[in-house]
Structure 1
Amino acid sequence: MKKSKIFSLLAVVATAFLLVSCGKKSSSSQKTTTITVGASAVPHAQILKHVQPQLKKEGVNLKVKVFQDYVLPNKALANGDIDANYFQHIPFLKQWNEKNKGNLVDAGAVHLEPISVFSKKVKNLKNLPKNATVLVSSNTPDYGRILTIFKDAGLITIKKGVDITSADFTDIASNPKHIQFKHSYEPKLMPQLYKNNQGDAVVINANYAVQSGLNPITQSIAIEKSTSPYKNIIAIRPNEKNNKAIKKLVKALQSESTQSWIKKHYKGAVLPVESVK
């Protein structure tokens, strides 16, 4: 009887030990880290949602918060309301930091959205008439890339020694056709201005163009070259540089499979960073 009781007791203890061990292992395997990333609706939020399943397998619960403008995402990040954002290029981030005494940093580039010129009046940028009116958004960090498009078309020249990433329309050296650049519009309004046949030409960011059903590759009269330095990045606060979840996010976005998906899904309207490094 004594031996039987001892064996029964040992069996109970062993079973309890196994259950506790299994419980610990299960709890550990299910441990996840949640991060919230602010993004523009198109293409940024779409690309983030594409990598959600992959990140879930790696223990990262990715939440996407969509913003409809270029003002709030950096404020939300600086205030700690989100863990990262994905909507901007480095010149924009640099200017925002300077204006707002911020210290947000680049955690990695993902894609390029080539800015494009649309027109219902001419089929080629070079054919713009004298005194043509070109409508441009109020997003000043984009002015250098716009000037580059017009320079490459032979319509203007830029003053010597100007850093194109911080240039504006006062840096135009010559403008033989006296093209007028009007730049007082919100970026998200540009597609509607084009559809309403405003101005002789309208410059539109790719995210707003695609979101409104426009294809920069097939419908624009001029498009930014893929060698542009305006790659879209993941931005973070400096103290998040070693955040493992953020690193997994960037790795997933820069992975060959995601970059290939970007190329196929957007058909050239959004270019994967691997093709513009």
Structure 2
Amino acid sequence: MSAYTLTRRRLAGAALALVFALAPAGAAFAAEKLKLGVMGGDEERIWEVAKKIAAKDGLDIELVSFSDYAIPNEALEKGDLDANAFQHKPYLDSQIAARGYKIVPIGYTLVQPIALYSKKLKAFADLKEGAVIGIPNDPSNGGRALKLLEANGLIKLKTAEGQVPSVLDVTDNPKKVEFKEIEASQLANLLPDLDAAVINTNYALGAGLTPAKDALIQESRTNNPYGNFIAVREADKDKPIFKKLVASYQNQEVADFINANFKGAIQPAW
């Protein structure tokens, strides 16, 4: 065997070894995966669009669907999820205060203005004295509901700056309305038993309510502090994989899907 032939074989072997050495790194990139917790229904539909965009960038998103706000942060904190996308800052702040979660927002997704609905009334002005109004029983969304009612003149609240109001902070209630604090996911189901209820948009849409047509009053869509976002564990916030996750959602294709399908009930928040 000539020295030339031996050299060629050695070079070929070295090249092959290099290919095998690099293969695991390439395979790991191609198989980059994460579990993302989202609310079922319309929010999950939007994420299906973002999931396809992420796949083009080598990111495989497994969507884990929830129907209850109380679970996704606990699942994220425990490591059962890599990220979640369902909440606004006042809600996360209240969860951190109550449970000590080390969770942070990394990118905005959507905003869903909360609204008051009724099966018994045609207009907000029709609320009678002693009416029973359902509001979410979690502090952040309950406070949000009370602020909506205050903004429309039904009640007055007294709270310190930055404080989330509760029914104990109602200082003026001319119509003597009664507030029933109910799990947010159940308000739409119990609406026939109430005079009215303040319902989060995802649950309203899931119950066949259309904000533009059915809401008696609704939050302003401009300067709304309740934009939802993607959240991760604080220790993970700078990982490149999450930059891909945010970019997959904050995409014109996702914005176009939201605007085309939800007629303003859900809006892009980035």
TM-score when scaled to structure 2?
Answer: 0.89
Q: Distance in 1 between matches of 2:3 and 2:263?
A: 72
Taking structure 1 as reference, are residues 95 and 176 closer, same or farther at Cα in structure 2, changes over 3 Å only? Answer: same
In the comparison of the two structures, how many residue pairs are matched?
A: 267
Q: CA deviation at 1:66?
A: 1.2
Question: Which residue of structure 2 lines up, in the alignment, with residue 131 of structure 1?
Answer: 130
Q: CA deviation at 1:22?
A: 5.2
**Residues 123-272 of structure 1 correspond to what in structure 2 (within 5 A)?**
123-159=122-158, 162-163=160-161, 166-183=164-181, 185-194=182-191, 197-226=192-221, 227-272=223-268
Question: Which residue of structure 2 lines up, in the alignment, with residue 64 of structure 1?
Answer: 63
Q: Distance in 1 between matches of 2:224 and 2:247?
A: 22
Q: CA deviation at 1:270?
A: 1.0
Percent identity over the alignment?
29
CA contact (8 A) 2:95 2:101 kept: yes
Q: CA deviation at 1:6?
A: 5.4
CA contact (8 A) 1:130 1:179 kept: yes
Q: CA deviation at 1:244?
A: 0.9
Letter in 1 for 2:220: K
Q: Distance in 1 between matches of 2:108 and 2:156?
A: 30
Q: CA deviation at 1:31?
A: 2.9
Letter in 2 for 1:102: Y
Letter in 2 for 1:203: V
Q: Distance in 2 between matches of 1:193 and 1:165?
A: 29
Match of 1:269, SS state, is: coil
Match of 1:231, SS state, is: coil
Q: CA deviation at 1:273?
A: 0.2
Q: Distance in 2 between matches of 1:242 and 1:16?
A: 39
Q: Distance in 1 between matches of 2:15 and 2:174?
A: 83
Q: CA deviation at 1:109?
A: 1.7
Q: CA deviation at 1:246?
A: 1.1
Question: Which residue of structure 1 lines up, in the alignment, with residue 74 of structure 2?
Answer: 75
Letter in 1 for 2:169: D
CA contact (8 A) 1:144 1:164 kept: no
Cα shift readout 1:240-271 (whole Å, capped 9, x = no counterpart)? 01111111111221223322322222221111
CA contact (8 A) 2:35 2:81 kept: yes
CA contact (8 A) 1:112 1:273 kept: yes
Letter in 2 for 1:202: A
Question: Which residue of structure 1 lines up, in the alignment, with residue 85 of structure 2?
Answer: 86
Question: Which residue of structure 1 lines up, in the alignment, with residue 99 of structure 2?
Answer: 100
Q: Distance in 2 between matches of 1:198 and 1:163?
A: 35
CA contact (8 A) 2:87 2:229 kept: yes
Taking structure 1 as reference, are residues 79 and 204 closer, same or farther at Cα in structure 2, changes over 3 Å only? Answer: same
RMSD: 2.2
Letter in 2 for 1:149: L
Q: CA deviation at 1:170?
A: 1.7
